[in-house]
Amino acid sequence: MNFSEERNKRTAYIESILQRYLPPAEGYQKIIMEAMEYSLMAGGKRLRPMLMWETFRLFGGQGRKIEPFMAAIEMIHTYSLVHDDLPAMDNDEYRRGRKTTHIVYGEDMGILAGDALLNYAFETACSAFDDEETDPVQAGRALQILARKAGIYGMIGGQVVDVKESGHAVSGETLDFIYRLKTSALIESSMMIGAVLAGADKDQVSAMEKIGEKIGLAFQIQDDILDVTGNEEDLGKPVHSDEKNEKTTYVTWKGLEKAREDVARMTEEAVKELRRFDAPDDFLEQLLVSLVGRKK
């Protein structure tokens, strides 16, 4: 298997799912569908739906019942970026080299496009109840995870503390809390939902939650490292922004060497956990490893 070819193939598959689940741009409210598409189709690694699909396969999941949830998790990730970029939040005019949603559509539509994506994520996931192949109890469990991990005990909770504590130094404990909620929660959600819809049992779903947490932390710490060591061209965003904003990061907290070691260690632990399960191929393992060495 050529990993990078396989990854591109899977990314293209995910993009086609996203496109399929986007609402057609029509009606008096057409502009909101356009803003949703603009933000959702802006590129990106598609890591969350990719992890969801791979975990679904890991537990022998078959068919297309996972697809609405793959679209839903990416919609939730995207809405969080759209609202995060707003003037009252990070006030960013560019993301991935393109103008942010509120710059193109106006601040009011930026707020509404984020709301629309979050709501449409649930609307999309709820289409699972119309699919005869999907057990409604499993769909209900998946929805509970989707909602919980995106909310105040997950992503929003992390976002709140990040916003509240910005502009001054924070403790390592607080930083850890922010990373676990802001970044790990959606990755845990992706892997847990993949497992649930494939019919995995409770212990298996818990194992995926733990793996997701480690991957999320490693991913976020690698982000901190890249802000110090990366270059603007690879990243598509300015570097040294944390230093400029006097932000506490994993690198300022533990130093660059220790941060690198921790990314490697957490990834290794995640891979070790993963090997307890009988994967159909080594794509998922390679994907996790690739996140350590990533330059963007």
- Summarize as ranges the residues that interact with its own copies (CB under 8 A): 23, 27-29, 31-33, 36, 79, 83, 86-89, 106-112, 114-116, 118-120, 122-123, 126-130, 136-137, 139-141, 143-144, 147-148, 150-153, 156-161, 163-164, 174, 177, 181
Q: For residues 239 and 234, what is the distance between their CA atoms, to the nearest angstrom?
A: 10
Q: For residues 152 and 30, what is the distance between their CA atoms, to the nearest angstrom?
A: 31
In whole angstroms, the minimum distance from the beta carbon of 78 to its own copies comes to 13
In whole angstroms, the minimum distance from the beta carbon of 48 to its own copies comes to 16
Q: For residues 108 and 124, what is the distance between their CA atoms, to the nearest angstrom?
A: 24
Would you say 200 or 271 has its CB closer to its own copies? 200
In whole angstroms, the minimum distance from the beta carbon of 148 to its own copies comes to 6
In whole angstroms, the minimum distance from the beta carbon of 133 to its own copies comes to 14
Answer for the pair 225, 256: CB distance below 8 angstroms, yes or no: yes
In whole angstroms, the minimum distance from the beta carbon of 292 to its own copies comes to 28
In whole angstroms, the minimum distance from the beta carbon of 258 to its own copies comes to 24
Q: For residues 250 and 175, what is the distance between their CA atoms, to the nearest angstrom?
A: 8
Answer for the pair 193, 205: CB distance below 8 angstroms, yes or no: no
Residue 14: both structure tokens together: 């995910």
Would you say 33 or 266 has its CB closer to its own copies? 33
The helix (run of H) or strand (run of E) holding residue 259 is helix 256-274
Would you say 196 or 284 has its CB closer to its own copies? 196
3-state secondary structure of 68: helix
Would you say 161 or 256 has its CB closer to its own copies? 161
Would you say 17 or 143 has its CB closer to its own copies? 143
Cα–Cα nearest to 142, from 68, 210, 81: 68
Q: For residues 101 and 95, what is the distance between their CA atoms, to the nearest angstrom?
A: 9
Q: For residues 53 and 60, what is the distance between their CA atoms, to the nearest angstrom?
A: 11
Look up tokens 């609405």; give the residue. 68
Instruction: Count CB atoms within 10 A of the CB of residue 207.
Output: 19
Would you say 166 or 252 has its CB closer to its own copies? 166
How much of the chain is helix, strand and coil, in % rounded to 5?
Answer: 70, 0, 25
E-strand stretches of the chain: 94-95, 98-99
Would you say 160 or 235 has its CB closer to its own copies? 160
In whole angstroms, the minimum distance from the beta carbon of 294 to its own copies comes to 29
Answer for the pair 212, 51: CB distance below 8 angstroms, yes or no: yes
Would you say 87 or 255 has its CB closer to its own copies? 87
In whole angstroms, the minimum distance from the beta carbon of 110 to its own copies comes to 8
